[in-house]
Structure 1
């Protein structure tokens, strides 16, 4: 049985990916700082390790075939991102493990390319974008040196899956109970989204094909390219009534950003909500076959159910 270690297994991404690998029959070692796991990962082996402790991380990943890097720092402080990436590379190299990781659209900077392919040049214009680009350069160097094989799957903003902390729950659906849809930007602007259960299944499919791939592989996950008007219409079909449309008060965040680190971090990436972009791939389907893709209404219903804003039964009926 293939063994995979999931780093950041209690985070939104790691949790969804760990669940998908368990369902696919992999032996899952779920690594968190304290070793505690959510209930849906009860069949995984829980291990405690801090990704900033290189020796401990190497020990925690000993004996696995694959390491999934789902580490996610606090959004307002990314000083630990590159040190953690270097430690993950050290752990993969020490244990001969394949590295799987999710990429972002931060790397492309502003103005955003309207269509992002696997060959689109990366021109980061923010600190977070530069850090993400440096991460990928590190992974590529390790692969080219024959030390660590990496598969990177780039995705848009997450929705769906257990946990909170995305634009979908923090803004868009935050006032759904009051009958309000909150748009983070212009309502007719196309934005790249990834339904987490689909993205997680795509990682499983890539892991299944890992022996057929090169030392460094980068793919795009097309996901859902949507406007806020399309998401709002989907929500209305699901809840069965019209929603009022509200706009995110960016002026409040901009005014408070000098005093609130989190607001400053969000404002620095505001261009993503005001510049249209979508992810396309010419390679993913050819590699894994049919790309996991849940229809929009079913995905939105699942995401609302995961947030407790819609009963699971209602979600199934709406889908």
Structure 2
């Protein structure tokens, strides 16, 4: 390995951090993966786990000599209090170690910055008009990083993706949408016909590797978009129905029992559960159609990593342990069932 193929990943046991750790290691990079003292990480060839606090700059820089890239996988827990208290410090911790190493700092980002008036197509230069507490904090965090690049000691790139899913639990997909899928039920948080942006984390992490490989072409600060998938609730319903037929969770030709998430109940729960209150603030994202445009990313790296959606969905359900018992219906019966389903929907 050369010094130019060494990366330090902060928050490597989080959902995005672990996806990035795996993606860089699979691409042949030497990976130093930070986790908090007392935690442990899986055995991954090419990965050295570092037990250190995020703000221990000297220890991290000394333990990852020659790292040309720092990936910021650190994130507060999902409450307003935690974000207000922790996000600026976690951002500064990533800045400090990147400056110490003279490295490129890479940050995953969300569509929170654009707010509820966001247009259907989101480009890198789309005006940011955050309408939520977390959106405003995200804008401030990215500005904090941009300011740190002005003296030439580090570069930084923000890569923005849609709603994250995959690489562990803790997303809308596993906590709400497919919670009762084995019983033939599908819950969706918004209108079924509104397209929204989604990012399967293993693909998004591979895009980080591709951008890191082109880091010498980047300006001091850059923002790129990872397009991922643009999906409606009906797209999810169709793909999950196919899997439900295959697994025997539905009779061939049957339909999932689709229901809407009760936001009234969510708001009531939010009165006592801060995490639910924070989620309720983001309801607008399910009602505002939006797609991320990745023109700048494609110009830099070529076509972004893009696993076909049904394949990514099966991988996520397998990872969640939902595909452990197998009771498949023969393929010819599935074809007949799909034809009947499509006739009924037309």
Q: Tell me the TM-score normalized by structure 2.
A: 0.86
Does residue 142 of structure 2 align to residue 139 of structure 1?
no
Change (3 A) 1:312 1:82: farther
Which position in structure 2 is the counterpart of 1:221?
Answer: 226
Per-residue CA distance 1:228-255 (angstroms, 9 max, x = gap): 1101101111221431101112111112
Q: 2:307 aligns with which of 280, 294, 312?
A: 294
Q: 2:195 aligns with which of 190, 201, 206?
A: 190
Per-residue CA distance 1:165-209 (angstroms, 9 max, x = gap): 111111111111211111011111111101111111111100111
Instruction: Give 1:43 deviation, angstroms.
Output: 4.1
Query: 5 Å matches for 1:123-138?
Result: 123-138=129-144
Distance in 1 of aligned mates of 2:166 and 2:71: 19
Q: 1:105 aligns with which of 105, 111, 117?
A: 111
Runs of 4+, deviation exceeding 6 Å = 312-315
Q: 1:122 aligns with which of 128, 138, 142?
A: 128
Indicate the SS of the match to 1:16: helix
Distance in 1 of aligned mates of 2:264 and 2:163: 22
Distance in 1 of aligned mates of 2:300 and 2:118: 27
Which position in structure 2 is the counterpart of 1:5?
Answer: 8
Unaligned runs of 5+ in 1: none
Does residue 181 of structure 2 align to residue 210 of structure 1?
no
Which one has the largest radius of gyration? 2
Per-residue CA distance 1:11-64 (angstroms, 9 max, x = gap): 111111100111000001110002644325364111112224455444454432
Indicate the SS of the match to 2:209: helix
Indicate the SS of the match to 1:283: helix
CA contact (8 A) 1:58 1:90 kept: no
CA contact (8 A) 2:41 2:49 kept: no
Q: Tell me the TM-score normalized by structure 1.
A: 0.93
Which position in structure 1 is the counterpart of 2:52?
Answer: 49
Which position in structure 2 is the counterpart of 1:64?
Answer: 67
Change (3 A) 1:239 1:106: same
CA contact (8 A) 1:191 1:278 kept: yes
Distance in 2 of aligned mates of 1:201 and 1:30: 16
Does residue 101 of structure 2 align to residue 73 of structure 1?
no
Unaligned runs of 5+ in 2: 332-346
Which position in structure 1 is the counterpart of 2:25?
Answer: 22
Does residue 173 of structure 2 align to residue 159 of structure 1?
no
RMSD in angstroms over aligned alpha carbons? 2.1
Does residue 95 of structure 2 align to residue 95 of structure 1?
no
Per-residue CA distance 1:248-276 (angstroms, 9 max, x = gap): 12111112322221111111222112211
Query: 5 Å matches for 1:257-296?
Result: 257-296=270-309
Distance in 1 of aligned mates of 2:31 and 2:136: 32
CA contact (8 A) 2:266 2:280 kept: yes
Indicate the SS of the match to 1:192: strand
Per-residue CA distance 1:118-163 (angstroms, 9 max, x = gap): 11011112111111001111111122231320121100111222x1
